[in-house]
Amino acid sequence: ATAVTEYDTIAAISTPIGEGAISIVRLSGEDAVEQVNRLFKGKDLTDVDSHTIHYGHILDATTQKPIDEVMVSVMRAPKTFTREDIVEINCHGGVVATNRILQNFLGEEVRLAEPGEFTKRAFLNGRIDLTQAESVMDLIRAKTDKAMQVAVNQLDGQLNNLIHNLREEILQVLAQVEVNIDYPEYDMDDMTTQLLLEKAQHIQTQIDGLLQTAKQGKILRHGLATALVGRPNVGKSSLLNYLIKEDKAIVTDIEGTTRDVLEEYVNVRDVPLKLVDTAGIRQTKDVVEKIGVERSKKAINESDLVLLVINAAEELTGEDQTLLELTRDKNRIILLNKIDLGAKISRDDLINQAPDTPIIEISVQNTQGLDQLEEQIATMFFGGIETNQTDVMVTNARQIGLLTQAQHSLDEVIAGIANGMPIDLVQIDMTACWDKLGEITGESAPDELITQLFSQFCLGK
């Protein structure tokens, strides 16, 4: 079998520029092997087995002098990522040499790949669907093991399979409706209507389940925006440092030294937190501090979770009260820190003011109560339901949007039936649902969408 190679041969550097000792120039397309072979000093690459790797040198096209010592992998279609012939050149010579190698190949036969074009070809050549293509993007950006696992599952085609099956079910019921419309004399109206209703409800339940994973999926992708707030000197930076386990935030004994808002990603029991450490909220004429205060409020407003730190070794202050007030409607955890110094405030003192808020007594210094904090974050996020590795999760806005639209069409189907609408009209909404689901996997996605989607990829992927 040969690949669908109506596409020209493309090339790009497929490793991040400047990172790592080895960089890879990747070519995909009909002429890939021949073009690399032209400038390769070593074995005859047009004559090697597929999926083998070869040592040699890449020569400069004009001077015929070696540019770099390389290892070249030759992978013949169709068992490759793009389903086309792929050649990967592992270069050792750093950015300059890698770029020179790439430039040497570019010309009439080979052109520079657009961002995401390798993945796009994998899609166009039928190797992956859109959800899998998107997961390639997610894999590149994954921040935690869990996020990685979700992306891997999706790359595996799990979401694709699920959606595909739902579409099959819709197709069956649509066929039944067709029969009903074509042969009115059989008088199957009631039966068909019943079937439509049952299918619509069944599929709605399935989509509901998927949409419920969306919130978690989104957080896995972007991190749970977490505002770390509290008046100066209560231990916010210390907590941040404990969580990131390295000293990036400045910890001092001078009040209000954390003036800039710091942002850090930390992984707490598989929940990726995007942590923001803010200056404590306090009345001040100091401009820098003021910016900090404004940012604090902003951080609170924009957060999914607030960690409010209070110094348990001192009496509650007006500032603490302000923060308790400001965070009242937020998803929050109150931390009574410095309990090693002896507590002046206990959980009981705050329970009336914050009845539904978890209040945890901690000492960052003695790492006391911090396990409990991590446990609490995990519980709040996963809602007590342990997700396992085979879970299908919806992770991006495009998929969520389409699922919501599909859901809406099903609402129309169900309402239509309830209102005694003619079956051929109900059928239109069912077909709309089928279309929307097809857009998720790319089976019925418009060209512009596909172009737009792949353009978000980085170069060389």
- Terminal Cα distance for the chain, rounded: 25
The token duo for 416 is 């239509």
DSSP-derived 3-state class of residue 317: coil
CA nearest to 36, candidates 1, 86, 98, 97: 86
Shortest approach of ligand GDP to residue 227 CB, angstroms? 13
Tell the burial category of 160 from Cβ atoms under 10 Å away from its Cβ (0-12, 13-18, 19+). buried
Ligand-binding site membership of 255 (annotated): yes
Q: Which does 253 bind (CB under 5 to 8 A by kind): ligand GDP, Zn ion, none?
A: ligand GDP
Which residues in 362-421 contact ligand GDP (CB under 6 A)?
A: 363-365
- Asked whether 394 and 219 are in contact (CB, 8 A), the reply is no
Tokens for 44?
Answer: 């005859």
- List of residues 6+ apart from 183 with CB closer than 8 A: none
Considering only the stretches 39-47, 192-200, 246-254, 379-387, report the one whose residues sit in contact with ligand GDP under the rule CB under 6 A.
246-254
Beta strands 271-277; 305-311: pairing state: unpaired
The binder of 15, among Zn ion, ligand GDP, none, by C-beta within 5 to 8 A per type, is none
Q: Cβ(337)–Cβ(234) under 8 Å?
A: yes
Single-letter amino acid, residue 156: D
| Dist. CA 309–CA 337, nearest whole Å | 7
Asked if 236 touches Zn ion (CB under 5 A), the answer is yes
Shortest Å distance, C-beta 236 to Zn ion = 5
Q: Which of 56, 232, 272, 442 binds ligand GDP (CB under 6 A)?
A: 232
Phi (first) and psi of residue 374, to 5 degrees = -65, -40
Contact 272, 381 (CB under 8 A): no
Site string for ligand GDP, 247-286 (x = CB under 6 A): ----xxx----x----------------------------
Rounded to a whole number of angstroms, the minimum distance from the CB of residue 19 to ligand GDP is 32
- Residue 26 annotated in ligand binding: yes
- Check residue 169 for interaction with ligand GDP (CB under 6 A): no
401 labelled ligand-binding: no
For residue 299, what is the enclosing H or E element? helix 287-302
Return the number of the residue (26 or 236) whose C-beta is nearest Zn ion: 236
234 is in an annotated binding site: yes
Residues in contact with ligand GDP, shown as a per-residue x/- string from 326 to 355 under the rule CB under 6 A: -----------xx-xx--------------
For 144-261, list the strands marked E by DSSP: 224-229
Q: Is 87 annotated as a binding residue?
A: no
125 vs 241 by CB, closer to ligand GDP: 241
Which partner in Zn ion, ligand GDP, none is near 365 (CB below 5 to 8 A by kind)?
A: ligand GDP
Q: Is 88 marked within a binding site?
A: yes
Min separation Cβ 246 and ligand GDP, Å = 14
CB closer to ligand GDP, 136 vs 281: 281
Answer yes or no: is 278 a known binding residue: yes
233 in contact with Zn ion (CB under 5 A): no
Alpha helices in 49-144 (DSSP H): 94-105, 117-124, 130-141
Tell whether residue 461 is among the known ligand binding residues: yes
309 dihedral zone (left: phi>0; alpha: psi -120 to 50; beta): beta
Is there a binding annotation on residue 296? no
- Which residues line the annotated binding site? 26, 88, 127, 233-238, 252-258, 277-280, 461
Q: By the criterion CB under 5 A, which residues form the site for Zn ion?
A: 236-237, 258
Q: By the criterion CB under 6 A, which residues form the site for ligand GDP?
A: 230, 232-238, 251-253, 258, 337-338, 340-341, 363-365
